Homo-oligomer: A and B are copies of this chain.
């Protein structure tokens, strides 16, 4: 048997993650806690100089008026995207969030003379395809409706429905319930916000192999991602520990699930993709080959080099690539996102050398194990490309500057600061990590698509996943959304970034998300004692 290296032009197909740590120094001076004044009406006094939006819009102006929002706020949708179900459903979700505290009373509500009764959304395009680089920009105008004014009340204008979703999120954060008047108010109006993302790819990796997450939990995570304008769920579906996904072409594969109850049907996966799309979030699936594949062989032992040596997948058999092709074919039906992650990391090739028939194959093909590894990765990429996918692979730490120099594209993930299972990383480290670190050339900078935080699940499961993700993922989300000018390093804002993040963490809890205290040394640890959410 003769095997050739696939002849592909790497610049055409390769995307690299930085898997291993990139050195980013921690601020030498630890940011001191904001000291807040106590007034007679409350333990806590909010500072009107702080803009309580997360992530911060790149450009905005505000004023000094307080506007009252009518609980029967209505939506008017205009433009070519005026029939969008995505926008209408989002509006209903945000109505529920904004008016949590009113309208359910047997005690009656007062007629307060509302300033804001209508939300106008203009969507210019009716194209709802959600792909990498989709236009997420929007403008948001919030102003009192003066008789002479042409633009009324609240207006969101966007080129796509996904820009409109981002604007709705921002609007919902401007609305606060005032306990004194029992009404929803917008402070510091009029607002004019012109916003767009700094990076096209703003991701969260979820590892569903080390622990299984039921679909309700995954939906909770996706919902909360939308609150910080993250737009890619990197679904690390399968690893050596378990194979939870149904693959119709190879129906024994999900025998590698932990139990018969810890599985995702094709329909489950499709539902997750659709749920995410309704929130402007893409799902990038990953199957990590050729390492991390032990669980594949429970259903098909031929994928193992041998029953005593189970990883990496057997490079010598055509069957291995047939199965891979079958998986990618079936997954193509589920995942419309153009990127597909093929893993490729942490491959210990000892099994190939130690298994007689694989060793024989290496010899026949005149390959070292390193050659064989490269052959596997390239052949996997070739299969992905043949299914109309752009493959993504893991690479080692600090490679972004090198690969963008070579014309490749890169998604930044920084093991030192953006791996959420590293519990000893504080929010400042997450916040100050910089995807463009070491890249000065403008053309090269454009090849950094963005970045992602990673929730590896060795010690995370449904019981603690949200508090491992939040609030630190929010810190990365602002780095990825907001321009560098509007979101400078954490130690340059006089404590304002911390104040904003503490406020946002409490906003997450008000929305039912189990976000942890911000300033604990170890992430997801309990509060150290009684106290306000806004100071822990």
Q: How far in angstroms is the closest Cβ of chain B from A119?
A: 22
| Closest chain B residue to A256, Cβ basis | B43
Judge if A393 is at the interface, Cβ distance under 8 Å.
no
Is there contact, CB below 8 Å, between A533 and B104? no
Q: Most B CB atoms within 10 A — which of A44, A216, A263, A526?
A: A526
Task: Please measure, in the bound complex, the distance between the C-alpha atom of A462 and the C-alpha atom of B465, giving whole angstroms.
Answer: 14
- A104/B267 contact (C-beta < 8 A), A44-B258, A241-B530, A530-B211 known: yes
Chain A contact patch, size range: 35 or more
Of B102, B242, B530, B533, which is within 8 A of A462 by CB? B533
Of B104, B179, B219, B536, which is within 8 A of A461 by CB? B536
- Chain A 441-481 interface 0/1 with B at a Cβ cutoff of 8 Å (1 = within): 00000000000000001111111111100000000000000
Of B260, B461, B517, B536, which is within 8 A of A526 by CB? B461
- List the interface of chain A (C-beta within 8 A of B): 40-44, 46, 100-102, 104-107, 176-177, 179-180, 182, 209-212, 214-217, 219-220, 241-242, 246, 254-255, 257-263, 265-268, 270-271, 274, 457-467, 506, 509-512, 514-517, 524, 526-536
Is there contact, CB below 8 Å, between A257 and B43? yes
Task: Please measure, in the bound complex, the distance between the C-alpha atom of A210 and the C-alpha atom of B532, giving whole angstroms.
Answer: 8
Is there contact, CB below 8 Å, between B215 and A100? yes
Is there contact, CB below 8 Å, between B529 and A463? no
Is there contact, CB below 8 Å, between B515 and A43? no
Task: Please measure, in the bound complex, the distance between the C-alpha atom of A535 and the C-alpha atom of B461, giving whole angstroms.
Answer: 13
- A107/B216 contact (C-beta < 8 A), A261-B534, A516-B463, A526-B460 known: no
Q: Is the interface of A mostly helix, strand, loop or mixed?
A: loop
| Closest chain B residue to A40, Cβ basis | B255
Q: Most B CB atoms within 10 A — which of A177, A255, A259?
A: A259
Is there contact, CB below 8 Å, between A268 and B534? no
| Closest chain B residue to A177, Cβ basis | B261
Is there contact, CB below 8 Å, between B462 and A259? no
Residues of B within 8 A of A516 (CB): 463-464
Residues of B within 8 A of A104 (CB): 267, 270-271, 274
State how many copies of this chain the complex holds.
2
Is there contact, CB below 8 Å, between B459 and A528? yes
Is there contact, CB below 8 Å, between B510 and A267? no
Residues of B within 8 A of A527 (CB): 211, 459-461, 463
Is there contact, CB below 8 Å, between B462 and A214? no
Q: How far in angstroms is the closest Cβ of chain B from A304?
A: 15
Is there contact, CB below 8 Å, between A530 and B458? yes
Residues of B within 8 A of A506 (CB): 261
| Closest chain B residue to A423, Cβ basis | B526
Residues of B within 8 A of A44 (CB): 258-260
Is there contact, CB below 8 Å, between B459 and A270? no
Is there contact, CB below 8 Å, between A212 and B182? no
Is there contact, CB below 8 Å, between B266 and A107? yes
- A43/B259 contact (C-beta < 8 A), A265-B179, A516-B463 known: yes
Task: Please measure, in the bound complex, the distance between the C-alpha atom of A102 and the C-alpha atom of B515, giving whole angstroms.
Answer: 31
- A210/B262 contact (C-beta < 8 A), A101-B268, A216-B100 known: no
Task: Please measure, in the bound complex, the distance between the C-alpha atom of A535 and the C-alpha atom of B526, giving whole angstroms.
Answer: 25
Residues of B within 8 A of A43 (CB): 242, 257-259
19 pairs, CB–CB < 8 Å, chain A vs chain B: A46-B260, A101-B215, A101-B268, A104-B267, A179-B260, A179-B263, A209-B530, A214-B511, A219-B512, A258-B534, A258-B535, A262-B534, A461-B517, A462-B509, A463-B509, A463-B527, A464-B514, A464-B516, A514-B514
